[in-house]
Amino acid sequence: MTEPTAERTRTPWVVGVSGASGTPYAAAVLRGLLDAGEAVDLVVSRASRLTILDETGISYRDSHWREDLATWLGRGADGKPDTFTGLDLSDVRHWSAGDLAAGPSSGSYAVKGMLIVPASTASVAGVALGLSKDLLQRAASVTLKERRKLVVAVRETPLNGQTLKHLVALDEAGAVVLPASPAFYAGATHIQDLVDFVAGRVLDAAGVPHGLYRRWEGELGGASRNP
């Protein structure tokens, strides 16, 4: 019998980045996964490329994705370049959003689950209705049908009734609906702290260890002493 290869045993997290505002959340989640030694399959939607460009000034291109990703992940939430360095992208695989023959489009492609960060209301609707109009939606639908972990970090406010129904449908289908809502008890002193709190909660929902925020320890005033 042929011995399994490293390629066959690789079991990544699929990270889908939709067109909602909040691309620093996606960058923080990706850094957290890489810091934890997790493999990543990355799907950046067409709409999200416009958001990345608008929020960071970075063009994300299929033909130069590795260089563009390194620049994006190195940027802090305050916009400063090279805030994060030494990132190892060797176990990141990029899939074009229009590639419906990509690995994550099939249930037989082994993954741990999928994180949609940030999740636009359009992507929420597409996944809830099973539209599969692009690879992000298709991969999420596959994640649900295979009963794998799906975390949907919705980033929109206010939410109308139709979107709330879609979110309830996702919850009933087994997804974790996680609003991108920062908390302040962790002692945030910088915009990056607020971003990292949301990213940390996404990783908590996925069961990935991290040190992105100070956890509540049942004692009032902890945030004012040591972040």
Does residue 120 have a known ligand-binding role?
A: yes
DSSP states along the chain = -PPPPHHHH--PEEEEE-SSS-HHHHHHHHHHHHHTT--EEEEE-HHHHHHHHHHHS----GGGHHHHHHHHHHS-TTS-TTSS-----TTEEEE-TT-TTSGGGSTTS--SEEEEEEE-HHHHHHHHHT---SHHHHHHHHHHHTT-EEEEEE--SSPPHHHHHHHHHHHHHT-EE------STT---SHHHHHHHHHHHHHHHHT----SSPPP-S-TTHHHH--
- 163 in a known ligand binding site: no
Q: Per the annotation, does 48 bind a ligand?
A: no
121 a known binding residue?
yes
175 is in an annotated binding site: no
Annotated ligand binding at 19? The verdict is yes
6 is in an annotated binding site: no
Q: Is 201 annotated as a binding residue?
A: yes
User: Does residue 185 have a known ligand-binding role?
Assistant: yes
Task: Establish whether 39 is an annotated binding residue.
Answer: no
- Residues annotated within the binding site are 19-21, 45, 120-123, 155, 185, 201
Residues annotated within the binding site for FMN are: 19-21, 45, 120-123, 155
Annotated binding site for dimethylallyl phosphate: 185, 201
